[in-house]
């Protein structure tokens, strides 16, 4: 989707669909909506007085312009109560306008920046939200469909941002750049997560990562199976043993700061399919497990976007990749394995595999000098139980970092909810024969104990862990996101890196 600006009167912009808006309870609209109303000889205010246009939140009215303005159709988007209006609503209103545009197969869509006028929101942030909502809603994934171009997967070509005030346009240009890069990165992560596991193996993922780095400021390195064994990444290898596909670790580096130290290490769980291993999942629980590399996808797409945005930080990405499969060679419950860190782990469940591969990736990032660490992973079903598909879990050892990451998520409509790291939970992981168990097996505080396992390997390095098990993939539409992968965490981490 191209995004362009037009410094013009709303009534003079040629397009298939023009989106204006109205708050609940307004009969005589002002601003851009007022200008359109006037050109239509008062049709909008007439329909408002009859209650046909209500301005209720997400109520949309489509009107034919009948040649009275340059747009073919006009959408009056309901903004709801002005006292309750915020950036999340701007994003959703913009997404819903794109969905309406798809229904009438509008290719050229024009919009005003909702909330930047009478809404009283910060114009830069409002503009970002409009673009984020539009690009998220314009997303489609039909790589494996023979019959393409259904209503659902129709895409708009061009979004025109209309603004009469030239000084605002300058502000908007920067907002569009950030929003476009970060939302495209999110959509790219959605593509990777939506891709079936037979089409996205560890090896294919690494090739995609390599390709991405070719025309960017990123450095690419691959640790192959032999390197993994040589370096003592036994925790990662213990997960990979049962798979016909070789594991690997994609390492990416981005240097945006003048100094040489690595400001932050980003680690993404890359289980391209999680069957549970010998602790086999039920068919129902296994169905969606191609998404178990959503953390890896997020980190890869964040890195690409970070280099496009020229973020002024040095970033190291460590992406451990493997399948988790049952086989004669698989790890067995009760096995004790070592790790790159040196700690020994008693495997209670082979389905608690994410933390195993993250443990070695964390050790590697620390060895390379990462000053801080963020890991992102579809780690625990317990997080889905606690927070559903609405919020990701966040835990860690650095409260400031956690709070900044939560705030970074809010900027782009991603919710994160902090869960506790009480010392008392440590008991759950005590093993009689090894340094730690990989999980309690008790089904208690699963998300917290998963994070406590990781903390054993993180040590004192400032660290935050984001559990996206519930948010990486949706079985319903939420806000600007359709069913399927969401690209959870990409916005959050990028916003944090830009802080």
Site for Zn ion in 269-298 (CB under 5 A): 271, 274, 292
Report the residue number, 100 or 351, with the smaller CB distance to Zn ion: 351
36 binds, among Zn ion, ligand BES, none (CB under 5 to 8 A by kind): none
Residue 218 has which token pair? Answer: 């990123």
Report the residue number, 43 or 235, with the smaller CB distance to ligand BES: 235
How buried is residue 199: exposed, middle or buried, by Cβ count under 10 Å (0-12/13-18/19+)? exposed
Q: Per-residue contact track with ligand BES, 372 to 391, x per CB under 6 A?
A: ------xxxxx-x-------
From 29-37, 64-72, 213-221, 348-356, give the range in contact with ligand BES by CB under 6 A: 348-356
| Whether 125 is catalytic | no
Position with the least CB separation from ligand BES: 381
Q: Per-residue contact track with ligand BES, 457 to 476, x per CB under 6 A?
A: ------------x-------
382 binds, among Zn ion, ligand BES, none (CB under 5 to 8 A by kind): ligand BES
DSSP strands (E only) in 43-197: 60-64, 71-80, 108-111, 158-162
Element (H, E) at 336: strand 336-337
Kindly state whether residue 193 participates in binding ligand BES, applying the rule CB under 6 A. Answer: no
The nearest distance, CB 273 to Zn ion, in angstroms, is 9
Kindly state whether residue 358 participates in binding ligand BES, applying the rule CB under 6 A. Answer: no
Kindly state whether residue 389 participates in binding Zn ion, applying the rule CB under 5 A. Answer: no
The nearest distance, CB 285 to Zn ion, in angstroms, is 9
Long-range contacts formed by 431-436: CB under 8 A, 24+ apart: 431/345, 431/346, 433/336, 433/346, 434/336, 434/344, 434/345, 434/346, 435/343, 435/344, 435/345, 436/343, 436/344, 436/345, 436/346
Report the residue number, 48 or 448, with the smaller CB distance to ligand BES: 448
Is residue 359 within 8 A of residue 252, CB to CB? The reply is: no
Residue 14 has which token pair? Answer: 């040629």
Report the residue number, 171 or 335, with the smaller CB distance to ligand BES: 335
Report the residue number, 97 or 271, with the smaller CB distance to Zn ion: 271
Catalytic residue among 281, 308, 343, 483: 281
Catalytic residue among 91, 96, 108, 355: 355
Total number of residues binding ligand BES (CB under 6 A)? Answer: 16
Alpha-carbon radius of gyration of the chain: 24
Report the residue number, 314 or 378, with the smaller CB distance to Zn ion: 378
Tell how strand 108-111 and strand 15-23 pair up: parallel
Give the Cα separation of 77 and 90 in Å (integer): 10
Kindly state whether residue 274 participates in binding ligand BES, applying the rule CB under 6 A. Answer: yes
Q: What are phi and psi of 6, to 5 degrees?
A: -130, 120
Rounded to a whole number of angstroms, the distance between the first and last alpha carbons of the chain is: 27
Closest by CA to 358, choosing from 391, 320, 390, 402, is: 320
| Whether 312 is catalytic | no
In terms of phi and psi (left: phi > 0; alpha: psi -120 to 50; beta: otherwise), the region of 16 is alpha
Closest by CA to 434, choosing from 364, 329, 341, is: 341
Q: Which residues sit at the interface with ligand BES, rule CB under 6 A?
A: 274, 292, 349, 351-354, 378-382, 384, 439, 446, 469
Give me the active site residues, please: 281, 355
Q: Which residues sit at the interface with Zn ion, rule CB under 5 A?
A: 271, 274, 292, 351, 353-354
């Amino acid at each position: 989707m191209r995004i362009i600006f037009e410094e013009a009167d709303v009534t003079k912009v040629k397009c298939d669909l023009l989106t204006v808006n109205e708050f609940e309870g307004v009969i005589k609209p002002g601003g851009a909506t007022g200008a359109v109303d006037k050109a239509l000889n008062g049709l909008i205010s007439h329909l408002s007085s009859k209650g046909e246009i209500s301005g209720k939140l997400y109520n949309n009215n489509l009107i034919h312009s009948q040649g009275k303005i340059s747009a073919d159709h006009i959408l009056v988007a309901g903004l709801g109560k002005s006292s309750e209006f915020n950036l999340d609503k701007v994003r959703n209103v913009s997404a819903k306008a794109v969905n309406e545009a798809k229904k009438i197969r509008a290719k050229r869509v024009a919009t005003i920046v909702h909330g930047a006028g009478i809404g009283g929101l910060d114009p830069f942030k409002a503009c970002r939200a409009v673009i984020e909502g539009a690009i998220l809603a314009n997303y489609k994934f039909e790589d494996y469909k023979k019959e393409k171009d259904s209503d659902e997967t129709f895409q708009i070509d061009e979004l025109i941002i209309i603004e009469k005030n030239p000084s605002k346009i300058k502000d908007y240009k920067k907002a569009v750049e950030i929003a476009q890069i970060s939302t495209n990165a999110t959509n790219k992560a959605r593509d990777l997560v939506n891709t079936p596991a037979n089409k996205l193996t560890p090896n294919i993922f690494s090739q995609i990562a390599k390709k991405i780095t070719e025309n960017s400021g990123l450095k690419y390195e691959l640790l192959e199976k032999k390197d993994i064994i040589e370096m003592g990444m036994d925790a990662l290898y213990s997960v990979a043993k049962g798979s016909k596909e070789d594991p690997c670790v994609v390492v990416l580096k981005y240097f945006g700061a003048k100094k040489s130290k690595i400001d932050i290490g980003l680690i993404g769980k890359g289980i391209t399919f999680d069957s549970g291993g010998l602790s086999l999942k039920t068919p129902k629980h296994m169905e969606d497990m191609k998404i178990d590399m959503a953390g890896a996808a997020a980190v890869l797409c964040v890195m690409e976007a970070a280099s496009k945005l020229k973020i002024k930080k040095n970033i190291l990405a460590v992406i451990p990749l493997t399948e988790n499969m049952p086989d004669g060679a698989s790890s067995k419950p009760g096995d004790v394995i070592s790790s790159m860190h040196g700690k020994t782990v008693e495997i209670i469940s082979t389905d608690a595999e994410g933390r195993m591969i993250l443990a070695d990736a964390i050790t590697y990032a620390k060895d390379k000098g990462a000053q801080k660490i963020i890991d992102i992973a579809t780690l625990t079903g317990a997080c889905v139980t606690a927070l559903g598909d609405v919020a990701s879990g966040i835990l860690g050892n650095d409260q400031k970092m956690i709070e900044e990451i939560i705030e970074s998520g809010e900027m782009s409509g991603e919710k994160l909810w902090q869960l506790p790291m009480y010392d008392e939970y440590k008991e759950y992981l005590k093993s009689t024969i090894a340094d730690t168990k990989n999980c309690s097996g008790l089904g208690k505080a699963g998300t917290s104990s998963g994070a406590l396992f990781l903390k054993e390997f993180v040590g004192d390095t400032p660290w935050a862990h984001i559990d996206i098990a519930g948010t990486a993939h949706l079985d319903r539409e939420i806000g600007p996101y359709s069913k399927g992968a969401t690209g959870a965490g990409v916005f959050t981490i990028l916003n944090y890196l830009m802080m």
